[in-house]
Structure 1
Amino acid sequence: MEIPKIFYKVRIAYFSGTGNTARVANTLEKELTGRGLSVIKTEIRKGNFSSDNKVDLLILLFAVHAFNAPGIVYEWIDSLPENKNSPVPAAVISVSGGGEITPNIACRVSSIRKLEKKNCTVVYEKMVVMPSNWVIKTNDELAFRLLEILPSKVEHIADDLLAGMVRRTRPKFIDLIISRVGEMEKKGTKFFGQKIKVNENCSGCGWCAQKCPADNINMSNNKPVFGRDCCLCLKCIYGCPNKSLMAGIFKFIILKDGYDLKAVEKRTKYIKSAPVEDLAKGYLWKGLREYLLED
């Protein structure tokens, strides 16, 4: 495919807690560089907000948090210098375990509005589905399907972007209301982070403090101390090498067996999957089902 002259330099900015969105960002980077584009990939985390709009295309990716982008994504957008020249084309790609259904349909609205205030023109938005890392586990057969189809989904996104396709959604009023209510979660995340408990398995290695994207964890007397800047990404709880951290509140959101994307891949590598229609029944899995079955 011939690359349109308007796209030479692309920035992929992504926020990822437990690795799903990072996998999508890496796959997209590989796809675009393979087509000859210059790609700058930026992980959104505290202390890494320096960026600019001097690119031909900005692609923002984030994991859906309570029907919206995480608060740290808003902070990153706010830190962008306002482009006073020609508008910068932008794409917003959300990543969830449920797909493009209510209550997630308006999850990109707030971040798009913020980007527009920075003189970005959002021309494309899309949902990518990955295995769920909270509340309800995606069974291994469906997780296998999602990981297997990811390169093809990303290829289609690249095709759309390079073809100049404009793809925007129009959320219904109820979806906008749900999204607005979901923003209240950002206040609750502060308390969630403060209430994380440390058990006797803690070795004081500091992994959690080093990896926290919100810079919310400090080490004191070889034990982690949690502040009020938690963004509820669950990276520390799921990623702790010693399984030392536990939720003190909202325990229902934590998967019993944890979440490790590499372990999911290893566990499902040779799985034989049944038809999607048999695996993803009911409204709960409607978005995932449609995602896997769409062309």
Structure 2
Amino acid sequence: MTTSSQIKTVKIAYFSGTGSTARVADTFESELTRRGISVIKSEIKQGNICSDEKEDLLILLYAVHACNAPKIVYQWIDSLDGKKQTPVAVISVSGGGEITPNTACRLSSIRKLEKKNYKVFYEKMIVMPSNWIIKTDDGLAIRLVDILPLKVKHIVDDLLKGVICRTKPKLIDRVFSRIGEMEKNGAKFFGRNLRVNTNCNSCGWCAKNCSANNIIMMDDKPAFGEKCILCLKCIYGCPRQALEAGTLKFIIIKEGYNLKDLENRMQGIQLAPVEDLAKGYIWKGVKEYLLED
């Protein structure tokens, strides 16, 4: 396995909808750069074909979508040339952690990479605040953000030592993963039914920043196609909060989702113990993640 003396250049390929995975990618870049390693960072977007850099290690990062990688990540993997046999670490990012139903969320992407002759030797989950359905308590959310550099440091330590870390997904989660693939069709329906409210000033931010190229400007208003991948970037990112869900409204967190806003409002606030904030099965993975050694 490739060790630190052999790793001179690392490519970080990442997909981020609402900013959490981008923050993780930035943190990996900082940690690797601090250790004197050259970093190529590439955001995965629609039509962004894999370039031909000669990295010694590939780190693939993506936000978990319905117990899987987003469709756009599969498309990116399909664009790989399949000749490099480069070592790969697959890092998923979720709001729930490494518990059911997410333990198989890397399986499909790993299989696709291996079919392309990439050597996946490491996989891990990074936990960040939830951006859909259930809002993460601010006390837990800020802890997840604050602990990120330490978590990344531990992963980079493993990667540079050549530590092999592969997991065995639970059978039930393999089923959830298969079922979750149906979301990719549901995303088209969600995207077609996005709504524009009176806050819109025709700035075009949504069209410029849609990772799937699902939004175009027509008559100075956003128009939506069938390429949506349900990342929610347009809804949470619009500077004027001008976009709304026309269907599946329950998945949107009313308070919005912005890590910088979280950090600003939590400055100087005394935090309750993790055990008091992470109660019940739904937060079990978050609690374990924050309290593990």
Shifted more, 223-232 versus 272-281: the winner is 272-281
TM superposition shift of 1:117? 1.1
Is residue 154 of structure 1 aligned with residue 156 of structure 2? no
Amino acid at match of 1:54: K
Looking at structure 1, the residues matched to 259 and 115 of structure 2 have their Cα atoms a distance apart, in angstroms, of: 35
TM superposition shift of 1:40? 0.2
Query: Contact 1:53/1:88 (CA < 8 Å) preserved in 2?
Result: no
Query: Contact 1:77/1:114 (CA < 8 Å) preserved in 2?
Result: yes
What residue is the counterpart of 1:208 in the other structure? 206
TM superposition shift of 1:6? 2.1
What residue is the counterpart of 2:277 in the other structure? 279
Q: Spell out, residue by residue over 1:154-213, the C-alpha distance to the aligned partner (whole angstroms, 9 max, x if none).
A: 000100100110000001211111101000000000110000001111111100000000
Please state whether the residue corresponding to 2:228 is helix, strand or coil.
coil
TM superposition shift of 1:269? 2.0
Looking at structure 2, the residues matched to 50 and 155 of structure 1 have their Cα atoms a distance apart, in angstroms, of: 26
TM superposition shift of 1:53? 6.2
What residue is the counterpart of 1:199 in the other structure? 197
Shifted more, 197-206 versus 268-277: the winner is 268-277
Is residue 25 of structure 1 aligned with residue 25 of structure 2? yes
Runs of at least 5 residues in structure 2 that lack an aligned partner in the other structure: none
TM superposition shift of 1:144? 1.4
What residue is the counterpart of 1:178 in the other structure? 176
Q: TM-score, normalised by structure 2?
A: 0.97
What residue is the counterpart of 2:250 in the other structure? 252
Looking at structure 2, the residues matched to 72 and 88 of structure 1 have their Cα atoms a distance apart, in angstroms, of: 21
Looking at structure 1, the residues matched to 124 and 53 of structure 2 have their Cα atoms a distance apart, in angstroms, of: 21
Looking at structure 2, the residues matched to 8 and 115 of structure 1 have their Cα atoms a distance apart, in angstroms, of: 22
TM superposition shift of 1:75? 0.4
Looking at structure 1, the residues matched to 53 and 249 of structure 2 have their Cα atoms a distance apart, in angstroms, of: 40
Pairs within 5 Å for 1:4-15: 4-15=4-15
> Percent identity among equivalent residues?
66
Query: What is the alpha-carbon root mean square deviation over aligned residues?
Result: 1.0
Is residue 66 of structure 1 aligned with residue 66 of structure 2? yes
What residue is the counterpart of 2:186 in the other structure? 188
How many residues are matched? 291
Query: Contact 1:144/1:269 (CA < 8 Å) preserved in 2?
Result: no
Q: TM-score, normalised by structure 1?
A: 0.97
Q: Spell out, residue by residue over 1:226-279, the C-alpha distance to the aligned partner (whole angstroms, 9 max, x if none).
A: 010001110100111111110011111000111111101111122211111111
Looking at structure 2, the residues matched to 125 and 151 of structure 1 have their Cα atoms a distance apart, in angstroms, of: 17
What residue is the counterpart of 1:48 in the other structure? 48
Query: Contact 1:107/1:179 (CA < 8 Å) preserved in 2?
Result: yes
Is residue 238 of structure 1 aligned with residue 212 of structure 2? no
Looking at structure 2, the residues matched to 42 and 218 of structure 1 have their Cα atoms a distance apart, in angstroms, of: 23
Runs of at least 5 residues in structure 1 that lack an aligned partner in the other structure: none
Looking at structure 1, the residues matched to 131 and 55 of structure 2 have their Cα atoms a distance apart, in angstroms, of: 33
Looking at structure 2, the residues matched to 125 and 8 of structure 1 have their Cα atoms a distance apart, in angstroms, of: 21
Pairs within 5 Å for 1:70-219: 70-83=70-83, 87-219=85-217
Shifted more, 185-194 versus 268-277: the winner is 268-277
